[in-house]
Structure 1
Amino acid sequence: MTDATQEYDEPEDDGPVQQPRLWQGNGWTARVIKNDDDEGWAVAMIKDGEPEPALVGPWTMGRDKKNPKPLDVNAFHTLVKTASEVIRRHEQALHAQLHKYLYVRTDEGELKVTMDIIPDEEHPYAILKAFDEMGEQVATARVDANFKLTSTSADKWVAADFKAPRSSQ
């Protein structure tokens, strides 16, 4: 036997786990767990490196009506797809909370006013920016993270020659 054949025959320690209640692969772990809320089972999908599951949902009972149905490749791939979609939606929602924009009409044309919240744990803040119709930045100002970007507040900022709005606290 050659060295290459020996390496091929030896089981890989870091290969994917594919057990009836535990599957790992594609950066995910699916774990079938006892549902504490009732007599059924649940499945938890955990993205590698994350402390908490991205998705926990009900899991099908097996034929004996006591034990869970074993995980299989099709179920695992469906769970990965669903959990990935949940994460994507959470990221989109967070992005929408942290990044806002609107348009303001001025005598010189339309301005796009953006607000990007910087969620620093100790001192969160936001950055207001104004862009002209060509996409050139014409102003920037630091504001409190709780600043409300509205048509009225943007109009006031523009009318004040882009002086940073006073703290709303």
Structure 2
Amino acid sequence: MSESDTQQDPDAAINEPRLWRDRGWTAQVIKNEDDEGWAVAMYKAGEAEPALVGPWTMGRDKKNPKPLDVNAFNTLVKTASEVIRRHEQALYAQLHRELKLDSEAGRLLVTLDIVPDEEAPHALLAAFDAAGERLAQVRVAPGFKLSQASAAAWVEAGFERPRSS
């Protein structure tokens, strides 16, 4: 595939020894700056930073990298997708808290979701009944501490916005 073809269609598949692009992913074999070997960088379409960078195997001549092939590319896509999924799960865990609470209305799920907005960071405190129906939601400070005590106090106050927020 010529360079002008890839410039005309940036989503076109590329299958070259050091560059593969397909299904929204690009694998690029690069010189490893840390040593004399090679590395492979996996980029998700639209992202400037690689999702994964790892060592790459030397070819038979022990100087050049082993060429990319369909099996290696598929493995790299799977691995990079897993890295992104784990990162998203870790971020979600940092920004989301939940607990269960027994109340007069029955068992409730109380959640706190932090919204890391640069201009107006905040959190959303919400209560859900056993069927998953949202009973209430209020905006609170991003530093609001969700605990059994704070959740119970909020429920007992009729879901009024906590004063500390």
Aligned residue number for residue 101 of structure 1: 98
For 1:66-92, what per-residue CA distance to the aligned partner results, in whole angstroms no more than 9, with x for missing partners? 211111111111111111111122222
- Count of aligned positions: 157
Deviation, 1:105, is: 1.1
The percentage of aligned residue pairs carrying the same residue is 68
Deviation, 1:156, is: 2.4
Determine which structure has more spread, i.e. the larger CA radius of gyration: 1
Aligned residue number for residue 78 of structure 2: 81
Are 2:146 and 1:155 equivalent residues in the alignment? no
Are 2:132 and 1:138 equivalent residues in the alignment? no
Aligned residue number for residue 127 of structure 1: 124
After superposition, residues 39-50 of structure 1 pair within 5 angstroms as 39-50=36-47
Higher deviation after alignment, 67-76 or 84-93 = 84-93
Q: Evaluate the alpha carbon distance shift between residue 160 and residue 29 of structure 1 in structure 2; reply closer, same or farther with a 3 A threshold.
A: same
Gaps of 5+ in 1: 1-11
SS at match of 1:87: helix
Compute the TM-score of the two structures, normalised by the length of structure 2.
0.85
2:53 to 52, 56, 59: 56
Partner amino acid for 1:77?
Answer: N
Rounded Cα–Cα distance in structure 2 between residues aligned with 1:88 and 1:108: 36
SS at match of 1:145: coil
Rounded Cα–Cα distance in structure 1 between residues aligned with 2:130 and 2:29: 54
Q: Evaluate the alpha carbon distance shift between residue 107 and residue 16 of structure 1 in structure 2; reply closer, same or farther with a 3 A threshold.
A: closer
Deviation, 1:144, is: 0.9
Deviation, 1:154, is: 1.1
Aligned residue number for residue 24 of structure 1: 21
Gaps of 5+ in 2: none
Rounded Cα–Cα distance in structure 2 between residues aligned with 1:78 and 1:59: 13
Aligned residue number for residue 7 of structure 1: none
For 1:101-138, what per-residue CA distance to the aligned partner results, in whole angstroms no more than 9, with x for missing partners? 21111233211111222221111111111122333333
RMSD of aligned residue pairs (Cα, Å) = 1.9
Aligned residue number for residue 9 of structure 1: none
Deviation, 1:143, is: 0.5
For 1:13-67, what per-residue CA distance to the aligned partner results, in whole angstroms no more than 9, with x for missing partners? 2442211111111111111111111221110000111010000011111112221
SS at match of 1:79: helix
